[in-house]
């Protein structure tokens, strides 16, 4: 029997209060900016425009934990293919229902197979997890994964997001090669990111330990 899991959440625009619930019947996602085919869509309309996918993947929080789940929703790459970004507009700006925004290079989101997730383990995302959809990044820390997404724009300019303004720079987004607490497993695990799997420090400290013993 699996234990009920408590999952950390930082939903910064709401700080210490529960985010407002979102009426799915009224909800519309806007995909706009420098694109050939902008749209505003309900959840049903979105599913008609972009293919739905399901992936089992683990994400990592800069605070030192990780969570694997079955996520379903839309690949950012597929979403962008549906709207056709114009050349020379290299960034994606994502804004939440609460007005929180973050900007990322499009190539990085596509390269990391970022997801616009609507479901976790078969259930629609709860308010705390980012109802009705959130960005998920799997190959870097999650602090750029905007929750409760309302608007997605293709833009030419980078604008630092909330956490970047206090120093969460390019350097800080790289997942670090030390154990992270896997919330779903209840234990510490080394990151499974390919480039970290054979990271130097484990090798090196193992060698050093052998030398000592």
Partner 1 sequence: METMKDIVCIERGAARVGAARPMEGPELELMLETFWLDRLAVSNARYAEFIACGGYRQRALWSELGWQFVREHDLVEPAWWQDDAFNEPLQPVAGVSFHEAEAFARWAGGRLPTEVEWEKAARGADGRSFPWGEQDPNSELAVYAPGFVPSRRAPIAVDDLPLGDSPYGCRQMAGNLFEWTLDTFHVDTPAQRTQHLMVEQRVSPRRVAKGGAWTVGESRLRCAARYSAVPELRDNIIGFRVAYDRPPGASR
Q: Which of 20, 156, 178, 197 binds partner 1 (CB under 8 A)?
A: 178
Q: Which of 24, 63, 111, 158 binds partner 1 (CB under 8 A)?
A: 63
Q: Which of 4, 99, 122, 167 binds partner 1 (CB under 8 A)?
A: 167
Q: Which of 41, 47, 110, 172 binds partner 1 (CB under 8 A)?
A: 172
Of the candidate spans 7-15, 29-37, 87-95, 149-157, the one that interacts with partner 1 by CB under 8 A turns out to be 7-15
- Map residue 4 onto helix, strand or coil: coil
Q: How far is the CB of 67 from partner 1 (least distance, A)?
A: 10
Structure tokens at 125: 């995302």
> Is residue 141 within 8 Å of residue 156, measured between CB atoms?
no
Q: Which residue has the tokens 């479901």?
A: 119
> Is residue 37 within 8 Å of residue 83, measured between CB atoms?
yes
Q: Which helix (H) or strand (E) holds 166?
A: none
Q: How far is the CB of 154 from partner 1 (least distance, A)?
A: 29
**How far is C-alpha 77 from the geometric centre of its chain's CA atoms?**
14
Structure tokens at 199: 């990271």
Q: Which of 168, 184, 192, 193 binds partner 1 (CB under 8 A)?
A: 168
Q: Which of 7, 70, 84, 185 binds partner 1 (CB under 8 A)?
A: 7
Identify which of residues 22 and 202 has a Cβ nearer to partner 1 in the complex.
Answer: 202
> Is residue 150 within 8 Å of residue 30, measured between CB atoms?
yes
Of the candidate spans 18-26, 116-124, 152-160, 197-205, the one that interacts with partner 1 by CB under 8 A turns out to be 197-205
- Map residue 136 onto helix, strand or coil: strand
Q: Does 198 bind partner 1 (CB under 8 A)?
A: no
Q: Choose among 86, 78, 112, 102: nearest CA to 151.
A: 102
Identify which of residues 10 and 54 has a Cβ nearer to partner 1 in the complex.
Answer: 10
């Amino acid at each position: 029997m699996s234990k009920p899991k408590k999952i950390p959440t930082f939903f910064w625009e709401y700080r210490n209060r529960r985010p407002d619930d979102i009426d799915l019947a009224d909800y519309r996602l806007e995909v706009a900016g420098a694109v050939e085919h902008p749209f505003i869509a309900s959840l049903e309309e979105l599913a008609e425009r972009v293919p739905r996918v399901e992936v089992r993947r683990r994400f990592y929080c800069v605070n030192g934990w990780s969570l694997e789940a079955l996520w379903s929703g839309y690949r950012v790459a597929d979403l962008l293919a549906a709207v056709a970004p114009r050349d020379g507009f290299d960034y994606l700006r994502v804004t939440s229902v609460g007005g929180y925004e973050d900007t990322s290079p499009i190539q990085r989101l596509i390269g990391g197979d970022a997801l616009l997730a609507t479901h976790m383990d078969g259930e629609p995302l709860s308010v705390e997890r980012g109802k009705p959809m959130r960005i998920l990044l799997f190959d870097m820390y999650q602090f750029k994964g905007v929750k409760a997404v309302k608007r997605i724009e293709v833009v030419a300019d980078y604008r630092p997001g909330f956490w970047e303004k206090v120093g969460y720079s390019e350097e800080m987004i790289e997942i670090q090669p030390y154990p992270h607490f896997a919330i779903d497993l209840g234990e510490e695990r080394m990151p499974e990111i390919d480039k970290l799997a054979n990271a130097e420090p484990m090798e090196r400290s193992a060698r050093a330990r052998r030398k000592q013993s």
